[in-house]
Amino acid sequence: MPSYKLTYFKHWGRAGVLRLLFAAGGIEFEDVRIERDQWPELKPKTPMGQIPILEVDGTIICQTKAIGRFIAKEAGLAGKTPLEAAQADMIVDGLSDLQVKIVDFFIEKDAKKKQEKIKEFAEKTFPVFLDTYEKLASSSGHFVGDALTWADVDFFSLMFFLKDHLPNDPLKGYVNLSKVRDNVTSNPGIAAWMEKETSH
């Protein structure tokens, strides 16, 4: 059994989905969460000066999606065929396109600009995204085939991340997407993990 060591900050951020994938697969891993002031010392030791990083028996992988895909493969959540794997990849890539827009308003320092960006996101970008993704999800609540894949988990993770920043349940009225969320949260490993993460 290889050793897995995931390093990130404490918050959900970019590593939330990675921890979920380990949980979904029932895979043991070292969940290292560093303080902000530990980062400068670690940064030069990372491949690209960023976290999260995953150390697998001494080899270091960076880039969230590369790590996510790796864990998904180990967990049997990367799709059953190369085509399914590609379909999962495209769903995940579309999610990270949205994440770029989220980060954009997140880091905006000008209060007025920030409000404008949030408004544009909430009223235009996000509904267009949800409309698109509703069509890509099946009525059984899967983005790929008829079983859970990391694409579903990644979608749930981003919705979870967003929930504190949006006033209402964003998936209200989106039948397929709500089913995706239900499928993810009813995965036993994920359910147990979320219980731990959200209770303090």
Q: Kindly tell me which of 123 and 169 has the beta carbon lying closer to another protein.
A: 123
Residues 178 and 94: their CA atoms lie apart, in Å, by: 18
Q: Based on CB atoms, which residue is closest to another protein, 94 or 170? A: 94
Interaction of residue 188 with another protein, rule CB under 8 A? no
Q: Which residue number, 100 or 111, has a Cβ lying nearer to another protein?
A: 100
Start-to-end CA distance of the chain, whole Å, equals 31
| Distance between CA atoms of residues 200 and 165, nearest Å | 20
Q: How far is the CB of 115 from another protein (least distance, A)?
A: 23
Indicate the residue among 60 and 194 with the shorter CB distance to another protein: 60
Q: Using CB under 8 A as the criterion, what x/- string covers residues 92-121 for binding another protein?
A: xxx---------------------------
* Phi, psi dihedral angles at 116 (to 5 degrees): -60, -45
**Which listed residue (41, 59, 109, 110) binds another protein by CB under 8 A?**
59
Based on the shown chain and the rule CB under 8 A, indicate whether residue 42 belongs to the binding site for another protein: no
Q: Is 27 in the site for another protein (CB under 8 A)?
A: no
User: What is the nearest approach in angstroms of another protein to the Cβ of residue 125?
Assistant: 12
* HEC profile of 55-79: EECCEEEECHHHHHHHHHHHHCCCC
Angle at 125 between CA 123 and CA 129, to 5 degrees: 115
Phi (first) and psi of residue 168, to 5 degrees = -115, 175
